[in-house]
Amino acid sequence: MPLERGQRVDRLRRDQLLVVREGLVAVSVILSDGRRQILCLNTPGESICPVCSNDCWIEALTPSLLDTSPINPGNGAMEDLFRLTHNRLISANTHLLTLGRFDGAERVAAFIVDMCRRLGRPVGKAGATLHLPMTRDDIADYLGLNAETVSRLFSRLKKSKIALFPTPTEIIVPDLAALEARAPIKPGEGFHARKTTVGATSG
Amino acid sequence: MPLERGQRVDRLRRDQLLVVREGLVAVSVILSDGRRQILCLNTPGESICPVCSNDCWIEALTPSLLDTSPINPGNGAMEDLFRLTHNRLISANTHLLTLGRFDGAERVAAFIVDMCRRLGRPVGKAGATLHLPMTRDDIADYLGLNAETVSRLFSRLKKSKIALFPTPTEIIVPDLAALEARAPIKPGEGFHARKTTVGATSG
DNA sequence: CGATGAATTGATGCGTATCAATGGATGTGG
DNA sequence: CCACATCCATTGATACGCATCAATTCATCG
């Protein structure tokens, strides 16, 4: 199924998955007053999670190609579905943290790092090039900002030479670690609870 | 497993679920600088989604009681896990929209409506009473705000008589529909795509 | 009844949205 | 092949919402 930029699909069938073969496909929610939130971005090879019953849109951000993949009951299909949904839940939770607690600069840093990992090509020892076929508006709707703010934050990265923007859709990050340092880090180990920490492994 | 307020659990075992029997249990992420985002709230009867590997905390917001429930392979267990994770993903997506595109007033309105549905008791024809055993800080960390802002927004609801707050943990909503009107609505049908809408059912 | 932690309220500053103008890239028709 | 239209990105001026800091009041419990 070929889609042109901006084309939307609704009413995903329950007995099939959509797999992105080419392009960039967003799952988004749109409010009656026009506000849009992009919930997740799907790059080639990824399957679109089957949550989009009534209130989500599937939208091609660039010319894209979708395949349908039937879900055959039995034969480990439920396990595959669980794994897919589970991965999407982890991504959604990361995104949730970003929208709830990161400021604008942190959001764009985390976003570019993420996209470099998924779509980038390595450059030099520690850098990456990224062809990002989305408008500033699309990025803003993914990050809970607006297009002008995204543009300003990109300009700031450019001025500090953390990232280069030869064209609006081309991003070069000479040193990924330097960009990563602009995004907050999770605590990892060693963080202490308000009271006591109990390992459920011993419960 | 009993937990007191503020007590945290990490390292959920992969072969068991945690079920909330009593209390209110949050799944949250905490950054190294102290910022916290509550990802989801679990009320009695709900199972805690098995996403919390290394970087999430399970935390009792009030004195709580957790049960463990083993996951027996086979026998439709995967289908149950899928359903659980799927429901959590839908909730996460709703939350994502809230954090990305709702302003403060809309967030607290949506939050109180949601909690009334899950924990409230009907009052009168269209109202509800809610005992909400969370601090303003906890609410703020769920809604991506801070405690003072939550307090101010509650005060505004009080002044406009949309909600009453006899004690800090008691909320009375005389007319749920009036409160619901303060939260944005999803478009439902009739919304038009930028280009064409294609029903995947016919693909 | 006093102590402690939470909630409320106020004053102020910062970050992002909004409105507006300009510039650049791409595509179309004369 | 150039002129023009269109769309997107950028940049600036300004407004508003929320965070921060601080002081006071309130609730709860020993």
Nearest-neighbour CA in chain A from B121: distance (Å): 28
Burial A55-66 (b: 16+ CB within 10 A, else e): bbbbbbbbebeb
- List all nucleotides in chain C with at least one atom under 7 A from a protein Cβ: 6-11, 15-20, 25-26
**Looking at residues A37-54, what average pLDDT do you find?**
88
What's the pLDDT score for residue A200? 43
Tell me which residue has tokens 């009593």: B22
Instruction: Indicate whether A150 pLDDT > 60.
Output: yes
Q: What pLDDT is stored for residue A49 in this prediction?
A: 81
Pairing of strands A197-199, B8-10: parallel
d(CA A141, CA A27): 11
Backbone angles phi, psi at A7, to 5 degrees: -70, 140
Q: Looking at residue B69, what is its pLDDT?
A: 87
Alpha-helical (H) ranges within A31-180 are 77-101, 104-119, 136-143, 147-159, 176-180
Pair type for strands A8-10 and A57-60: antiparallel
A189 or A94, which is more confident: A94
Is there a contact between B150 and B142 (Cβ–Cβ < 8 Å)?
A: no
Give the one of A90, A96, A186 whose C-beta lies nearest to B96's C-beta. Answer: A96
A148 touches strand C (CB under 7 A): yes
Token pair in block for residue A19: 């797999």
Question: What secondary structure, in 3-state letters, does chain B show?
Answer: CEECCCCEEECCCCCEEEEEEECCEEEEEECCCCCEEEEEEECCCCEECCCCCCCCEEEECCCEEEEEEECCCCCCHHHHHHHHHHHHHHHHHHHHHHHHHCCHHHHHHHHHHHHHHHHCEEECCCEEEEECCCCHHHHHHHHCCCHHHHHHHHHHHHHCCCCECCCCCEEEECCHHHHHCCCCCCCCCCCCCCCCEEEHHHC
In chain A, % of residues over pLDDT 70: 88
Q: Are A50 and A18 in contact (CB under 8 A)?
A: no
Give B199's pLDDT tier (boundaries 50, 70, 90).
very low
B43-67 core/surface letters (b: 16 or more CB in 10 A; e: else): eeebbbbbbbeebbbbbbbbebebe
Within 10 angstroms of residue A91's Cβ, the number of other Cβ atoms is: 17
Nearest to residue A26, comparing CAs of A3, A54, A59? Answer: A59
**Angle at CA of residue B13, ends B115 and A49, nearest 5°:** 60
The answer, yes or no, to whether residue B139 has pLDDT greater than 50, is yes
Say if the Cβ atoms of A51 and B8 lie within 8 Å: no
Contacts of B143 in chain A (CB under 8 A): 100
Give the global pTM.
0.92
- What pLDDT is attached to residue B14? 72
A15: three-class secondary structure by DSSP: coil
- Interface A-B: count of C-beta contacts within 8 A: 204
Residue B148 has a CB neighbour count (10 Å cut-off) of 11
Over residues A130-143, mean pLDDT: 96
pLDDT digits (tens, 9 = 90+) for B73-85: 766 888 889 999 9
Give the pLDDT mean for B193-200.
Answer: 44
B137 touches strand C (CB under 7 A): yes
Transcribe A32-59 into DSSP letters: TTS-EEEEEEE-TTPEEPTT-SSS-EEE
pLDDT at A54: 64
Residue A133 corresponds to which tokens in the numbers above? 């076929």
What distance in Å separates residue A68's CA from the closest CA in chain B?
9
* Contact (CB, 8 A) for B58 and B8: yes
| Across B105-109, average pLDDT | 98
Q: Which pLDDT belongs to residue B35?
A: 96
pLDDT at A37: 97
CA A143 to chain centre: 9
The Cα–Cα gap between A53 and A12 comes to 7
Interchain CB distance below 8 Å, B188 and A88? no
> Is pLDDT of B203 > 70?
no
**pLDDT on residue B55:** 82
Burial-class residue B22 by CB neighbours within 10 Å (0-12, 13-18, 19+): middle
- For B78, the closest of A82, A99, A188 (CB atoms) is A82
Yes or no: say if B112 and B183 are a contact pair by the CB < 8 Å rule.
Answer: no
Lowest mean pLDDT among A14-23, B81-90, B123-132: A14-23
CA-atom Rg of chain A in angstroms: 19
Give me chain B's average pLDDT, please. 88
Report DSSP state, residue A19. Answer: E
pLDDT at B12: 64
Question: For residue A195, what pLDDT is reported?
Answer: 45
B203 and A68 within 8 Å at the Cβ level: the answer is yes
Q: B39-73, pLDDT tens digit by residue? A: 999 999 999 987 776 689 999 999 999 998 888 77
pLDDT of residue B194: 45
- pLDDT for A100 equals 98
Contacts of A34 in chain B (CB under 8 A): none
Distance A96 CA to C4 C1' (A): 34
Decide which of B201 and A109 is more confident. A109
- pLDDT for B185: 82
Q: Where is pLDDT greater, at A8 or B149? A: B149
The amino acid present at A171, given as its one-letter code, is: I
